[in-house]
Amino acid sequence: MRIGLIGSGFIGGSVARLALAQGHEVILSNSRTPDTLADLVADLGPGASAALAADAADAGEIIVVTVPFKNYTAVPVEPLAGKIVIDTNNYYFERDGHFSAIDDGTQTPSGALAEHLPTSRIVKAFNNIQWEQLLHDGLPAGSPNRRALSIAGDDAEAKAAVTALIDSFGYDVVDAGGLVEGRRFDRDKPAYGPRATADELREMLARG
Ligand SMILES: NC(=O)c1ccc[n+]([C@@H]2O[C@H](COP(=O)([O-])OP(=O)(O)OC[C@H]3O[C@@H](n4cnc5c(N)ncnc54)[C@H](OP(=O)(O)O)[C@@H]3O)[C@@H](O)[C@H]2O)c1
């Protein structure tokens, strides 16, 4: 599979590394030109390349949007039409500035991205695990105490594809429900951050 990355920082670089280990191709991008990602591309090795964000979006079959939340409106829209988009973004008002609809609870961070990408099939994932843990906590399917990660989204087929990807990275997957249920594992919720098995994560999501 070709996986496009819109954002290639801590979490984008980690997802890219895990995807390459599973034999996927990754197309990285950032807010600048592809040459600025040459070191990361070299470090990731065969299967990795860099492009402008719109071209990475165009090339990918699954696209990971992993930028500071405040920049979500710069994510290219047209090349992502109809595509599976993984949203890792978190809203931190200290970094992103205040978004009143999120502050007052009428909007979620993933809902905001979904408004910006109205025909994309968005799955919220990877927002509640720290990048170093994501790289190292994965275990083969069936391992005792395997860590679980939560997803949320409105498109069942997209969620199935993302579930398979996350499982291949070494994690069980717990479906929290529709995209709006992603609020159950947003910042400051019980399911934001701690290492948890699937059963533990379900309990945390219910409390969130
Ligand atoms: N760090 C974590 O452990 C972690 C875990 C889970 C979720 N998250 C969330 O995931 C998102 C990314 O976090 P991060 O830690 O990976 O951030 P980061 O290391 O600061 O990387 C951000 C990346 O986004 C790129 N970017 C910024 N604006 C862009 C734009 N308009 N178009 C394309 N690319 C753009 C940056 O490129 P430039 O260098 O060109 O600016 C950079 O490659 C955030 O929302 C964060 O809250 C982070």
Task: Supply the pLDDT for residue 49.
Answer: 98
Backbone angles phi, psi at 55, to 5 degrees: -75, -35
Dist. CA 133 → ligand 1 center (Å): 16
pTM of the full structure:
0.98
Instruction: Please state the domain extents for the chain.
Output: 2-207
Angle at 196 between CA 190 and CA 199, to 5 degrees: 95
Instruction: Give the list of residues 6+ apart from residue 175 with CB closer than 8 angstroms, or none.
Output: 150, 151, 152, 159, 163
Task: Supply the pLDDT for residue 128.
Answer: 98
Task: Supply the pLDDT for residue 5.
Answer: 98
Task: Supply the pLDDT for residue 198.
Answer: 98
Does ligand 1 have an atom closer than 6 angstroms to the CB of 12?
Answer: yes
Instruction: Give the list of residues 6+ apart from residue 3 with CB closer than 8 angstroms, or none.
Output: 15, 16, 19, 24, 25, 26, 27, 60, 61, 62, 63, 64
Low-confidence ranges of the chain (pLDDT < 70): none
Query: What are the Cα distances from residue 185, in Å, to 43, 44, 48, 196, 200?
Result: 32, 30, 30, 12, 13
Beta strands across the sheet bearing 62-65: 48-50, 25-28, 2-6, 62-65, 84-87, 121-124, 148-153, 172-175
Nearest CA to ligand 1 atom 32: 31
Tell me which residue of 21, 16, 29 sits closest to 59, measured CA to CA.
Answer: 29
Task: Supply the pLDDT for residue 188.
Answer: 95
CATH architecture of 2-207: 3-Layer(aba) Sandwich (3.40)
Dist. CA 144 → ligand 1 center (Å): 32
Q: Which helix (H) or strand (E) holds 124?
A: strand 121-124
Tell me which residue of 127, 30, 133, 41 sits closest to 86, measured CA to CA.
Answer: 127
Does ligand 1 have an atom closer than 6 angstroms to the CB of 135?
Answer: no
**CB distance 208 to 191 below 8 Å:** yes
Task: Supply the pLDDT for residue 70.
Answer: 98
